[in-house]
Amino acid sequence: MERSILAVVAAAIAAHSILFPIHEVSTVKVLRAYSIANTIIFSFLLTSSKHLTFSAIRLATVNCTFLIVFFTLTVIRRLYFSPLSHFPGPKIAAISNIYLANEFRTGRGSRTLLKLHKQYNSDFVRIGPRELSIRNVEAVEAIYRGKYPRGTFYEVGAINGEFNLNTQRDYKLHTPWRRIWEQAFASSEFQHYNPRVEQHVVNLLNAIDHAGAKELDCSKLMDNFTFDVMADLSFAHDAGMQIGTGDNTYMHFIHKYMSAAGVIAVLRNLSQLLIYLPESADVKSFRLRGEALLSARQKLGNTRKDIFSHLLRTDTETSTPVKFTQAQLNSNANLIIIAGSDTVSTTLTQTFRLLAMQPSILKKVQKEVDDCLKGSEATVDAVRNLPYLNAVVNESLRLFNPVPMGAHAATPASGVYVDSTFVPGNIQVSVPPIALMTDPRYFAKPDEYIPQRWLDWHEGIKDRRAFFPFGYGVHSCVGRQLALNELRTVVAGVVQRWDIVLGEKYDEGEWKVDWRDHAVLQVGKLWVKFVPRAK
């Protein structure tokens, strides 16, 4: 018995020594090998003793011993012998990703990172066994400039094992895929997109007008607007959300999907098992709805210019033609639904909240819009270059970025220097916008909403490199221009007609509780009154 225990201990030490140097262990392969080993051991025990119960007890003892030794060694090595051991951070985070997963479960993810940077007074905080959060402006270019692959965080996005532009970590595939997406957002395409955006803005203004003096949930209004735009420009589909004929449960499923995805993405081992596990009802509903939108769009062929008119065709501009498979198209459809609706919606909602809380800023942007439009309707081109309007939008993106944790990347095997600090190779890193864009080293009065900093208050921005609301380099948002067009046109159209006042049902405490980061920001109800301006 003593020899067998020693053999199990030796096996645990050997397994740990083999697995620890591997940077991205395949969970499936490990579980398969572990199952095979257990089958062999159980067969041997059963053959030796001929007693099923005794063999099962012996097997349980072997497993308990093996796992206790293996995980004890893992804890010791992660705490004291990891290349990240000298970086500050919670000990529990160094031991397991469960710590960070729980923060995302509760919606505190990015705010926890901000708190940790302040708590440890450090630009580098260890937030996982192999993960760092970096709050230093030099990291933006150092990490995101090079073609360092996306982090393992994005593996969760591989719905049914297929990847989309956001989750593809292999740049041999990501580069040609991104080129197709960039063609969909080329400047020449906006002659087709802008009139449709403007029509949806008119629908939004009509919805507000029809509500009269009632308090409205601004979050719901913006959800409806951005979903209509996304469905139209992506799938040539009239979602009808703003006129009341659409499926009002769709955003619910988007939020449910992101709540689950944010947690699972942190737990890489679990995310690798997703394709073998049954889908939750909410995730399945979200996926099937996206596939239904795509299927309807495919039946239209090339009858209309939209984003999928580019994704559906074969890109022949390279030596090897590139064409998405059906499964990849399905995955990209789900990406468009999230990135094209939720992020713009939360930014608009928070902008209107900030304007309602600071009437002087509202009055200033109203004057600029009035002087420009002179009573005519807001259009994308008319408001594109309004300085104060752009400052209002920039300040909202700075203070309340819709992706507050930022993009995840994996460092090269040789490691990388950020400022004067060496970041080891083959680890996951992120530069959270919520931390960098509210850092007093880069922005004066960083926690205050001051659009003027983008104009003539030069001291307000100490280092413009710290402003990267749409990401940077190969990790940047390909739909940046469309998002800005929506943001500017909606804000201009609304402030031209109405003053914005927080409603009686608005509760600041409830708003803060409902502000949740599940990799993509989610906000609660924002009750406001849109008060017609005096003629």
The answer to whether residues 60 and 199 belong to one domain is no
Q: Domain count for the chain, please give it.
A: 2
The answer to whether residues 183 and 297 belong to one domain is yes
Residue 52 reports pLDDT greater than 80: yes
Residue 298 reports pLDDT greater than 70: yes
| pLDDT value at residue 219 | 96
Q: What is the pLDDT of residues 427-476, one digit of tens each?
A: 999 999 999 999 999 999 999 999 999 998 888 999 999 999 999 988 89
Helix (H, G, I), strand (E, B) or coil at 421: strand
139 is a domain residue: no
Of 32, 55, 81, the residue that ends a domain is 81
The answer to whether residues 328 and 432 belong to one domain is yes
Q: Pull the structure tokens for residue 189.
A: 């395409």
Q: State the CATH number of the domain containing residue 184.
A: 1.10.630.10
The answer to whether residues 56 and 163 belong to one domain is no
| pLDDT value at residue 156 | 66
- Summarize the confidence of residues 292-296 as an average pLDDT: 94
Residue 60 reports pLDDT greater than 90: yes
406: left (phi over 0), alpha (psi -120 to 50) or beta: left
- Summarize the confidence of residues 394-401 as an average pLDDT: 97
- Summarize the confidence of residues 493-497 as an average pLDDT: 98
CA angle 256, 261, 267 (to 5 degrees): 145
What is the rounded average pLDDT for all residues in the chain?
A: 91
Spatial contact of 116 and 127, defined as CB atoms under 8 Å apart? yes
- Give 157's pLDDT tier (boundaries 50, 70, 90): low
The answer to whether residues 73 and 169 belong to one domain is no
130 is a domain residue: no
| pLDDT value at residue 192 | 95
Spatial contact of 61 and 9, defined as CB atoms under 8 Å apart? no
| pLDDT value at residue 364 | 98
| pLDDT value at residue 114 | 95
Of 60, 81, 102, the residue that ends a domain is 81
List the single range of 49-53, 235-239, 376-380, 474-478 with lowest mean pLDDT: 49-53
Cα 178 to Cα 494: distance, rounded to the nearest angstrom: 34
| pLDDT value at residue 166 | 83
The answer to whether residues 166 and 71 belong to one domain is no
Considering Cα of 21, then 25, then 29, then 30, what sign does the dihedral take? Answer: positive
The answer to whether residues 393 and 508 belong to one domain is yes
**DSSP state letter for 415:** -
| pLDDT value at residue 74 | 95
124 is a domain residue: no
Burial (CB < 10 A; 0-12, 13-18, 19+), residue 422, is exposed
| pLDDT value at residue 280 | 79
Q: What is the pLDDT of residues 99-129, one digit of tens each?
A: 999 998 999 999 999 999 999 999 999 999 9
The answer to whether residues 429 and 320 belong to one domain is yes
491 is a domain residue: yes
496 is a domain residue: yes
The answer to whether residues 151 and 51 belong to one domain is no
364 is a domain residue: yes
122 is a domain residue: no
The answer to whether residues 36 and 153 belong to one domain is no
332 is a domain residue: yes
The answer to whether residues 186 and 77 belong to one domain is no
* Host domain of residue 67: 2-81
Residue 3 reports pLDDT greater than 80: no
User: Which of 98-102, 157-161, 334-338 shows the highest mean pLDDT?
Assistant: 98-102
In the chain, the percentage of residues whose pLDDT exceeds 70 is 98
Q: Within 281-320, where are the H helices? A: 281-300, 307-311
| pLDDT value at residue 464 | 96
**DSSP state letter for 484:** H
Of 63, 81, 99, the residue that ends a domain is 81
Cα 514 to Cα 244: distance, rounded to the nearest angstrom: 25
The answer to whether residues 242 and 367 belong to one domain is yes
| pLDDT value at residue 358 | 98
| pLDDT value at residue 339 | 85
Mapping DSSP onto H, E and C, the string for 201-265 reads: HHHHHHHHHHHCCCCEEHHHHHHHHHHHHHHHHHHCCCCCCCCCCCCCCHHHHHHHHHHHHHHHH
The whole-model pTM stands at 0.92
- Give 154's pLDDT tier (boundaries 50, 70, 90): confident
Nearest to 347 by CA among 339, 336, 358, 335: 339
| pLDDT value at residue 392 | 98
> How many residues does the structure list for the chain?
535
Q: Between these two residues, 89 and 260, which has the higher pLDDT value? A: 89
Kindly report the number of other CB atoms within 10 A of residue 198's CB atom: 19
